Amino acid sequence: MRFEQRVVIVTGGSKGIGAGCVRVFAAEGARVGIIDRDAAAGQQLAEELNAAGPGEVQVVQCDVGDAAQLQSAINQIATTFGQLDCIINNAGIHPPATTIDDTSLEMLDQVMRINFVSTFAGAKFAVPHLRKTRGTIINVSSMTAVLGQEHSTAYAASKGAQLSLTKSLAIELGKEGIRVNAVLPSNVDTPLMREWAATLPDPQSALKRVADLQVLGRMASPEEIGRVCLFLATDDSSFVTGQGIEVEGGASLDY
């Protein structure tokens, strides 16, 4: 019950890594607000977890790319639950692989808006609530922020922007007792990963190739990322701020 009596918002919490976070925090007694454009999937998850307890999960439908919607969703959850202790800025997209020649500036705009601007905005709108609880901000970035990724320039740049935002915001908010960290997963078995594999001629061997990139020989589960977020949201990590925690199963070793 490490998050009992506390409140966390998870953007993109209906599926994938976000859903893994929701499961981990709800199991620790948290009150969880899911912000997601797919409210139906979020509702299904909320019903399952509310029946299981001990946490409580509510869903607000919202496109995080729309700042006004995001601000009102964050305020609604903080008001309903009476406080906010953590926001996990996780919602994100990965467009299909393209060269720089074939990446339109409209696509770049969209990727930056959903992956980065929403992270900035999520933090900005959560801070007034987090000041009252000396809470935490967790940004779900990616190992592509530090390693790059071929034919994914827009995506990797959006993830790098999340990481530098994390460091600067940690400096700004440290004296107020608000810690800001990022999580950098390598490869996680999520709907996003499987949708990507499905665009390739042989999805099963593509998923095997991706699993083999980690020295552990497999992808992470969404809950494994959720448990690192739980660490960053609790006093177990009370002296950790401004860090990009690489949760990558050894993917960057043995170059």
Ligand X SMILES: NC(=O)c1ccc[n+]([C@@H]2O[C@H](COP(=O)([O-])OP(=O)(O)OC[C@H]3O[C@@H](n4cnc5c(N)ncnc54)[C@H](O)[C@@H]3O)[C@@H](O)[C@H]2O)c1
Binding site for ligand X (CB under 6 A): 12, 14-18, 36-38, 62-65, 90-94, 114-115, 140, 142, 185, 187-188, 190-193
Question: Closest distance between ligand X and the C-beta of residue 171, in Å?
Answer: 23
Question: Closest distance between ligand X and the C-beta of residue 227, in Å?
Answer: 15
Are 192 and 16 a contacting pair, CB within 8 Å?
yes
- Of 135 and 226, the one with the shorter C-beta distance to ligand X is 226
- Of 62 and 229, the one with the shorter C-beta distance to ligand X is 62
- Of 122 and 135, the one with the shorter C-beta distance to ligand X is 122
Secondary structure (H, E, C), 121-142: HHHHHHHHHHHHHCCEEEEECC
Residues designated as active site? 155
Phi first, then psi, for residue 11 (nearest 5°) are: -80, 145
Question: Closest distance between ligand X and the C-beta of residue 4, in Å?
Answer: 26
In Å, how far from its chain's centre is CA 198? 23
Q: Which of 30, 118, 16 is nearest to 74 (CA)?
A: 118
For residues 126 and 99, give the distance between their C-alpha atoms in angstroms, rounded to a whole number. 36
Question: Closest distance between ligand X and the C-beta of residue 187, in Å?
Answer: 4
Phi first, then psi, for residue 216 (nearest 5°) are: -75, -10
Beta bridge mates, 57 = 32
Q: Which of 46, 19, 52, 34 is nearest to 225 (CA)?
A: 19
- Of 16 and 160, the one with the shorter C-beta distance to ligand X is 16
Peptide bond into 222 cis (omega under 30): no
